[in-house]
Amino acid sequence: MRIFFATDIHGSEVCWRKFLNAGKFHKADVLIMGGDMTGKAMVPIVQSNGGWEVTLQEQRHELHREDELVAMEKRIRDRGYYPIRLTRDELQAWSADKALVDARFKDEMLRSVEAWMALADERLGGTGIRCVVSPANDDMFEIDPIIDRAEHVQLGEANTIQLDGFTLVSTGWANPTPWNTFRELPEDELRTRIDGLVATVPDRQRAIFNFHAPPYASNLDAAPQLDADMKYVAGGQALVPVGSKAVRESILDYGPALSLHGHIHEGKGAVKLGRTLAVNPGSSYEDGVLQAAIVDLDAKKGEVKRYLLING
């Protein structure tokens, strides 16, 4: 069985499209999305003098034709941002009212996940390729039922999924971050949640963990240290472990064949923890590059046969 695992695409439309095509391209049997699917930013495209103005990556663009506008919106979506058409009055209103921004953010996230699930159904239908999507700490809870409704996508969070002799258990909950995001738990509660999931697994050595938070001090969790002002220390050169101790201990205690992680975009890597291969493919979603792990599992032996981390 070949698994294609990607994570943390944060709204990047092009990365999602690549993800859906990866099954055919890399001959994978199962696609697993490790969460943090929704975008972090909205880019206002402002109506102005019969045209539109937008600033992307500090570069101001003036758009005069609909095709230019559509191309810019695609470019923005491919970076993982949501393009928002606004009048100047609306922009001023948004600037003054955080609630308007929050409401639109929610609307955009839900709408994009709806569209992504529709695309998944369209592309995966009839292929025989299975797809599991598990939201993570940056994803609001309202997207879970949308994923659950998709015909050719299975919701990973808190579900036990059988995959050719292996059992996949998933959670997008993470240990606390400085950003206080949607799905965070103190380490002891995270461990309790994991233990509850693993209790449903018949053979723990044939388990596949799909836990968004990487194991602590595994090198899959090395992130640039931040100071009290949330700025990088030493230009980002000072890396510190920020992973979950609960995840690490559960891997060592249960010894699953494979453990899939994300969360720390800079933490690309693969390490052995006990008998378990733990991988974090990292993320370069803003570049439109889909970082992923391809893992071949030996159903007879119940272990990882080979793996590769890719930049697709």
Rounded Cα–Cα distance for residues 8 and 239 (Å)? 20
Q: Identify the residue among 50, 202, 235, 300 touching another protein (CB under 8 A).
A: 235
- Name the residue nearer to another protein (CB basis): 30 or 161: 30
- Per-residue x/- marks for another protein, 155-174, CB under 8 A? --------------------
Q: Identify the residue among 179, 192, 199, 299 touching another protein (CB under 8 A).
A: 179
Q: Report, in Å, the least distance between residue 205 CB and another protein.
A: 20
Residues in binding contact with another protein, number by CB under 8 A: 87
Q: Which stretch binds another protein (CB under 8 A): 156-164, 175-183, 188-196, 253-261?
A: 175-183
Rule CB under 8 A: say whether 232 interacts with another protein: yes
Rule CB under 8 A: say whether 2 interacts with another protein: no
- Per-residue x/- marks for another protein, 94-123, CB under 8 A? xx--xx-xx--x------------------
Rounded Cα–Cα distance for residues 268 and 281 (Å)? 5
Beta bridge partners of 154: 132
Work out the burial of residue 87: count CB atoms within 10 Å of its CB; fewer than 13 is exposed, 13-18 middle, 19 or more buried.
exposed
Contacts for 206 with CB less than 8 Å, ≥ 6 apart: 165, 166, 167, 256, 257, 302
Q: What are phi and psi of 114, to 5 degrees?
A: -55, -50
- Name the residue nearer to another protein (CB basis): 1 or 310: 310
Chain residues 274-303 in contact with another protein, contact rule CB under 8 A: 282, 284, 286-290, 294, 296
Q: Report, in Å, the least distance between residue 44 CB and another protein.
A: 7
Among candidate residues 307, 301, 191, 212, the one with its CA nearest the CA of residue 254: 191
Beta bridge partners of 6: 33, 292
Gyration radius (Cα) of the chain, Å: 20
Query: CA angle at residue 251 from 245 to 257, to 5 degrees?
Result: 155
Pairing of strands 276-280, 258-260: parallel
User: Where does 57-129 show beta strands of DSSP type E?
Assistant: 59-63, 81-86
Q: Report, in Å, the least distance between residue 200 CB and another protein.
A: 28
Among candidate residues 260, 311, 265, the one with its CA nearest the CA of residue 290: 311
Q: Are 281 and 290 in contact (CB under 8 A)?
A: no
- Name the residue nearer to another protein (CB basis): 113 or 201: 113
- Secondary structure (3-state) at 2: strand
Chain residues 120-139 in contact with another protein, contact rule CB under 8 A: 137-138
Chain residues 202-231 in contact with another protein, contact rule CB under 8 A: 217-219, 222, 224-226, 229-231
Q: What are phi and psi of 69, to 5 degrees?
A: -65, -45
Among candidate residues 229, 293, 233, 230, the one with its CA nearest the CA of residue 267: 293
- Name the residue nearer to another protein (CB basis): 195 or 298: 298
Chain residues 61-100 in contact with another protein, contact rule CB under 8 A: 75, 78-79, 81, 84, 88, 91-92, 94-95, 98-99
- Name the residue nearer to another protein (CB basis): 145 or 178: 178
Rule CB under 8 A: say whether 234 interacts with another protein: yes
Q: Report, in Å, the least distance between residue 93 CB and another protein.
A: 11
Q: Report, in Å, the least distance between residue 311 CB and another protein.
A: 6
Rule CB under 8 A: say whether 49 interacts with another protein: no
